[in-house]
Chain A
Amino acid sequence: MGEGAVTATIPTATLAGPEDLDGATRAALAELLLALADDEFVLGFWDSEWTGIGPALEEDVAYSSIAQDEIGHARALYELLAALTGRKADDLAYDRGPEGFRQARLLGLDRGDWAQSIARRYLYDTADATRLAALAGSSYAPLAGLLGKVRREEAYHLLHFDGWIRRLNDDDRGRARLTAALDALWPAALDLFTPLAGEDLLVRAGILPRPFAALRGEWLAALAPIFAELDLPLPARRGDDGAYTPTVAPLTGGRDGNHDPAFRRLHDEMTMVYREEPGANW
């Protein structure tokens, strides 16, 4: 999804690597990469909690595989960031306090029950598809190149969760749980499009082809026909100019390091071994 709504931006110049950027743009790019990487990283952790306890063995295997993709994407993004900052990917991933993480509020929440996990995945994957479609046209060549591969894998994830949304929605009990989960998640999902510090620099350099506010509109526009087809409420309004804006207040702060207490618990667990002997080879 999302493809139809996206107008390709052809970058005027190609930025081959960090050496082509000034200090301020470099810092803004670091914020963007950290946000993208942390979204994938933390979601990959929640997903891997389903490994071994999924609702059916087949789904268990599929979910574990998706979790690995996300961690793999996070690793590749941390490596791009490492090229920019000189910090190793593993240190970026493990040697930060919970407030140092930049994932959107949606990803800081507990995995919840199966309906909540599916609803979160669907909101995230659709938003991510919009974001990745835009960033595939980024003038920063290392990012555009990496995202080509990421998008191919994410397309499969979306297909998987699109199937689940429909299956849950087709059943009264499933639909009740699904709509409750979506309702609860919308405000935090909108944080995926909270403008980043230094975003204007990224847009000017063609690194971020369009501002996040515009991407949010593209995302909601892409969801509108699907939610209408499934008779699911979409908390958004179409303005006279045709642009979609949300009708619920976003829950922001993730990009500044504010997260749900659930993330603090997850962070404690995920750094438990690393903290036993920091800096050691594991």
Chain B
Amino acid sequence: MATEVLHQTDQGEAERRAAFFAHIAAGGKVEATDWMPDDYRRQVLKFVEMHANSELMGVLPEREWILRAPTLKRKLALTAKVQDEVGHAQLLYRVAEDLGKSREEMWRDLLAGKTKFHNVFHYPTETWGDVGIIAWLIDAAAIVAQQALRGSSYGPYARTMQKICWEESVHIMHGRDIVLTLVNGTPKQRAMVQDALDRWWAPIMQMHGFRTPPEKDKDLAWRIKAKSNEELRQEFLAIYVPRILEIGLTIPDPELRYDEEAKRWRYTEPDWDELTRVVTGHGPKSAERLQFRQIHYADTAWVRDVILGEGPGALAAD
């Protein structure tokens, strides 16, 4: 970050803020050790914490299928993918920790339902077709957002995204390979993957979030993220709609088409009430997945006690 901002400690608070946000607006980066306004720090923390929570909770729907993977190659690839997601959670919690909230606090808030995670991880996985659709399209939707986050004003977050994006691109290839194999398989396998797409399309369309006007989006104004929700959704559709259709799958939205004049994709209005319900913890699997985490967190509390040499229950889930 610009050194003049760092060292002008005699400035008034308002002037200091103004200089900070001017620095950001000009494309400058902020490092963990730099001075930053509390509201900026809180906003970055909230954003990164939700991302970390999402990586952690995103492990659950897929880990159910590690044991069920139908070939040795798939089993290896899926274990590696889920391991990557755990690794991403670890990296992101470290970024968040530097902003002043401990990992234990973040876990407790997550387990207590006080903090959020992405909508797509509140839904059930029903068949092997889901494993392909998640790794291909949900990871693709995520990577569109994450690539933009490499331009985040918060430097440690932007750099973490470099590594994460690279790994996610491997996941997409793994997912696409599963989907292609099913599409070229038996009629039952083709039906399996189409059914998965039918169930996942609505959550995917909601995944980038509400069409918040850019001027009202604080994350955008402060360049915590670099693109608006709708820009990301349009980008995803532009790349993936042709790819989905090309392999012979049907997208379950009769309104979906590219509007040449407006230069944007038109689609059936996503059910924003569903998105609100789901991300506030009322999705079909929200309670069950949190409970699953709580149970395992409590089951392994003694291990953390032993490692840290603390009294019983020091880190147990509340």
A residues contacting B by CB (< 8 A) are 45, 48-49, 51-58, 60-61, 64-65, 67-68, 71-72, 74-75, 78, 89-90, 93-94, 113-114, 167-168, 171, 173-174, 177, 266, 269-270, 272-274, 276-277, 280-282
Partner of A58, one of B75, B79, B82, B90: B90
Q: Which residues of A contact B89 (CB under 8 A)?
A: 57
Q: Smallest CB-CB separation from A278: which chain B residue? A: B70
Partner of B72, one of A56, A93, A276: A93
Chain B interface bracket (under 10, 10 to 19, 20 to 34, 35 or more): 35 or more
Partner of A72, one of B76, B93, B299, B309: B76
* Contact between chains at A48 and B79 (CB < 8 Å): yes
Interface stretch (choices B35-43, B59-67, B196-204, B264-272):
B59-67
Q: Which residues of B contact A75 (CB under 8 A)?
A: 72, 76
- Given A64-B82, A94-B71, A56–B312 Cβ distance below 8 Å? no
Q: How far is the CA of A60 from the CA of B303 in the complex (A)?
A: 13
Q: How far is the CA of A45 from the CA of B72 in the complex (A)?
A: 11
Q: How far is the CA of A126 from the CA of B129 in the complex (A)?
A: 40
Q: Which residues of B contact A48 (CB under 8 A)?
A: 66-67, 75, 79
Q: Which residues of A contact B80 (CB under 8 A)?
A: 64, 68
Q: How far is the CA of A51 from the CA of B87 in the complex (A)?
A: 11
B216 CB-CB contact with A under 8 Å: no
* Contact between chains at A273 and B82 (CB < 8 Å): no
* Contact between chains at B83 and A68 (CB < 8 Å): yes
Q: Which residues of B contact A282 (CB under 8 A)?
A: 70-71, 74, 128, 178, 181-182, 185
Kindly list the 3 A-B residue pairs having the minimum CB-CB distance in the complex, ordered from nearest: A64-B83, A55-B300, A55-B303
B68 CB-CB contact with A under 8 Å: yes
- Given A277-B186, A282-B181, A71–B300 Cβ distance below 8 Å? no
B86 CB-CB contact with A under 8 Å: yes
Write the nearest CB–CB distance from B67 to chain A, whole angstroms.
5
B302 CB-CB contact with A under 8 Å: yes
Q: Which residues of B contact A61 (CB under 8 A)?
A: 83, 86-87, 90
B69 CB-CB contact with A under 8 Å: yes
Q: How far is the CA of A66 from the CA of B82 in the complex (A)?
A: 13
Q: What are 11 contact pairs spanning A and B, CB under 8 A?
A: A48-B75, A68-B83, A71-B75, A72-B76, A93-B71, A266-B67, A274-B71, A277-B185, A281-B181, A281-B185, A282-B182
* Contact between chains at B307 and A71 (CB < 8 Å): no
Write the nearest CB–CB distance from B192 to chain A, whole angstroms.
8
Q: How far is the CA of A105 from the CA of B256 in the complex (A)?
A: 56
With A61-B86, A93-B72 given, name 12 new contacts (CB 8 A): A48-B67, A51-B79, A53-B296, A58-B90, A61-B87, A68-B76, A90-B73, A171-B306, A171-B309, A174-B306, A269-B67, A282-B185
Q: Which residues of A contact B296 (CB under 8 A)?
A: 53
Q: Which residues of B contact A74 (CB under 8 A)?
A: 72
Q: Which residues of B contact A68 (CB under 8 A)?
A: 76, 79-80, 83
> What per-residue 1/0 map shows which CB atoms of B265-307 lie under 8 Å from chain A?
0000000000000000000000000000100100110111111
Q: How far is the CA of A49 from the CA of B59 in the complex (A)?
A: 12
Q: Which residues of B contact A89 (CB under 8 A)?
A: 72
- Given A52-B59, A56-B307, A113-B299, A71–B70 Cβ distance below 8 Å? no
B189 CB-CB contact with A under 8 Å: yes
Q: How far is the CA of A49 from the CA of B75 in the complex (A)?
A: 12
- Given A52-B63, A273-B70, A64–B307 Cβ distance below 8 Å? no
Q: Smallest CB-CB separation from B65: which chain A residue? A: A273
Q: Which residues of A contact B73 (CB under 8 A)?
A: 90
Q: Smallest CB-CB separation from B184: which chain A residue? A: A281
Q: Which residues of B contact A72 (CB under 8 A)?
A: 76
* Contact between chains at B304 and A173 (CB < 8 Å): no
Partner of A51, one of B59, B68, B76, B312: B59
Q: How far is the CA of A179 from the CA of B130 in the complex (A)?
A: 42
Q: Which residues of A contact B7 (CB under 8 A)?
A: none
Q: Smallest CB-CB separation from A272: which chain B residue? A: B68
Write the nearest CB–CB distance from B264 to chain A, whole angstroms.
38
B263 CB-CB contact with A under 8 Å: no
Q: Considering the complex, which residues of chain B in the window 142-165 have a beta carbon less than 8 Å from any beta carbon of chain A?
A: none
Q: Which residues of B contact A113 (CB under 8 A)?
A: 299
Q: Which residues of A contact B69 (CB under 8 A)?
A: 273
Q: How far is the CA of A49 from the CA of B82 in the complex (A)?
A: 11
* Contact between chains at A60 and B72 (CB < 8 Å): no
Q: Smallest CB-CB separation from A92: which chain B residue? A: B72
- Given A61-B83, A168-B306, A174-B306, A54–B76 Cβ distance below 8 Å? no
Which of B73, B75, B312 gathers most chain A CB within 10 Å? B75
Q: Which residues of A contact B182 (CB under 8 A)?
A: 282
* Contact between chains at A55 and B72 (CB < 8 Å): no
Q: How far is the CA of A253 from the CA of B26 in the complex (A)?
A: 71
Q: Smallest CB-CB separation from A172: which chain B residue? A: B306
- Given A57-B93, A167-B306, A114–B300 Cβ distance below 8 Å? yes
- Given A67-B79, A171-B309, A51–B86 Cβ distance below 8 Å? yes
Partner of B185, one of A65, A93, A94, A280: A280
Q: How far is the CA of A74 from the CA of B93 in the complex (A)?
A: 34
